Amino acid sequence: MGDFKFTTVADALDGVIDGTATASKAVVLDANGKIDGIVLTDAKIDDTDTGVIITSVDQTHASPVVTIPDIIDAADTFVVADAAQTLTNKTLTSPKINEDVALTATATQLNEAGSKASSACRLYNLGAPALASVNSLVTSTNMIVGEYTIDGSQPDVPRNVTVSATAGDTADTMGTITFVGTNYADEAITEEITPIAGSTVAGTKAFKTITTITGAGWVIDGSESTNDTVIIGVGNEIGLPIALDSATEIMMGILGTAIVATNPTVGTPATIEETTIDVSSGIYDGTKEILVFVVD
């Protein structure tokens, strides 16, 4: 019997009944094991609940299996190598784009990088802060209700304040200490700090100047009646001249010639005095200037 070639499957098959095809004519494979010229119309090949599975028996390699998953949209198409196609909601694992290097950045990181790349970058010089000092404003003195004497120096750069209390014996009732001064923009600001005996409490606002420091609510202990003492100074948080509403807007910090972690903080709502960075990991010494890069 000679080889048969057909243009449609109807020429070779009587029909499909309950998934079983019956042939009325012989279908002969060519030397490469192929059927030449047959077009399958409305064919079902191992159709399962999870999709269509096509298995090719290959004499050289392991039998490859092609699975066509269930297609939600009946008008969906295959992704092919050479056609220009738009892919939507596809997950790419370690893709390589135009070079033999796997892309490891996440979508969030790429979106953020794109946002920053299209934003303006500003550079600020925040001065050369000295090492933080716990008693640069007020040296050791008894706690009081009233105004403390500022017997030290004003902050060298806009920075936060600290309060360190020491119990004379039984801890007193600490009360509060209120700072009044100005921020980087010379605007009036205040901050209230509650001391803790045996600890240093750091404020969160950057003061350019301090006008008054006032104690309230302090009560000496009723046991030994020994006055607790307090020292007041400045900390490591350095103020910026602008109000930022997101710490991610602070891209990079340099202390002297070294790139250092910025440890940024911002207020809610955003204020100049609460927009600060701490680059003290590079050690302040009064000579190394702070440069900070900010994006809009």
Evaluate if residue 255 carries a pLDDT over 90: yes
Q: How confident is the model at residue 248 (pLDDT cuts 50, 70, 90)?
A: very high
Q: How confident is the model at residue 41 (pLDDT cuts 50, 70, 90)?
A: low
φ, ψ for residue 96, nearest 5 deg: -115, 120
The reported pLDDT for the residue numbered 36 is: 55
The reported pLDDT for the residue numbered 103 is: 82
What is the torsional sign of CA 15, 16, 17, 20? positive
Least confident of 87-96, 173-182, 207-216, 228-237: 87-96
Q: Are strands 65-69 and 121-125 parallel, antiparallel or unpaired?
A: unpaired
- Across the range 130-134, mean pLDDT stands at 97
Determine the longest span between alpha carbons in the chain, in angstroms. Answer: 120
- Token couple for 123: 């550079």
The answer to whether residue 22 is domain-embedded is: no
Q: How confident is the model at residue 16 (pLDDT cuts 50, 70, 90)?
A: very low
The reported pLDDT for the residue numbered 176 is: 98
Looking at the fold, whether 142 and 233 belong to one and the same domain comes out as yes
What is the torsional sign of CA 17, 20, 23, 28? positive
What is the number of other CB atoms lying within 10 angstroms of the CB of residue 51? Answer: 13
The reported pLDDT for the residue numbered 201 is: 98
The reported pLDDT for the residue numbered 117 is: 65
The reported pLDDT for the residue numbered 274 is: 98
The reported pLDDT for the residue numbered 100 is: 87
Looking at the fold, whether 145 and 121 belong to one and the same domain comes out as no
Q: How confident is the model at residue 200 (pLDDT cuts 50, 70, 90)?
A: very high
- Across the range 260-286, mean pLDDT stands at 96
Domain around 173: 133-238
- Token couple for 141: 């003195």
The reported pLDDT for the residue numbered 93 is: 84
The β-bridge partners of 219 are 173
The reported pLDDT for the residue numbered 116 is: 61
277 with 240: CB under 8 angstroms?
yes
CA–CA separation, 110 vs 117, rounded Å?
Answer: 10
Residue 195 belongs to domain with CATH number: 2.60.120
Least confident of 46-50, 52-56, 80-84, 246-250: 46-50
Looking at the fold, whether 147 and 188 belong to one and the same domain comes out as yes
Least confident of 53-57, 83-87, 152-156: 53-57
Looking at the fold, whether 145 and 291 belong to one and the same domain comes out as no
Q: How confident is the model at residue 22 (pLDDT cuts 50, 70, 90)?
A: very low
Looking at the fold, whether 155 and 245 belong to one and the same domain comes out as no
Looking at the fold, whether 143 and 205 belong to one and the same domain comes out as yes
- Across the range 172-194, mean pLDDT stands at 97
Q: How confident is the model at residue 142 (pLDDT cuts 50, 70, 90)?
A: very high
Looking at the fold, whether 290 and 195 belong to one and the same domain comes out as no
Looking at the fold, whether 137 and 121 belong to one and the same domain comes out as no
Name the residue among 219, 165, 168 with its Cα closest to residue 194: 165
Q: What is the dihedral of CA 124, 130, 131, 137, to 10 degrees?
A: -110
Looking at the fold, whether 268 and 121 belong to one and the same domain comes out as yes
- Written as one string, the DSSP assignment of 70-137 is PPSSTT-----SSS-----S---SS-B-SSSSB----HHHHHHHHHHHTS-EEEEE---PPPPEEEEE
Tell me, what DSSP letter sits at residue 255? E
The reported pLDDT for the residue numbered 78 is: 74
DSSP reduced 3-state for 234: strand
Structural domains counted in the chain: 2
Evaluate if residue 210 carries a pLDDT over 70: yes
Work out the mean pLDDT of the chain and round it to a whole number. Answer: 83
Q: What is the CA radius of gyration of the chain?
A: 38
- Across the range 263-274, mean pLDDT stands at 96
The reported pLDDT for the residue numbered 10 is: 46
The reported pLDDT for the residue numbered 272 is: 98
Query: Bigger pLDDT: 296 or 163?
Result: 163
The answer to whether residue 231 is domain-embedded is: yes
The reported pLDDT for the residue numbered 66 is: 67
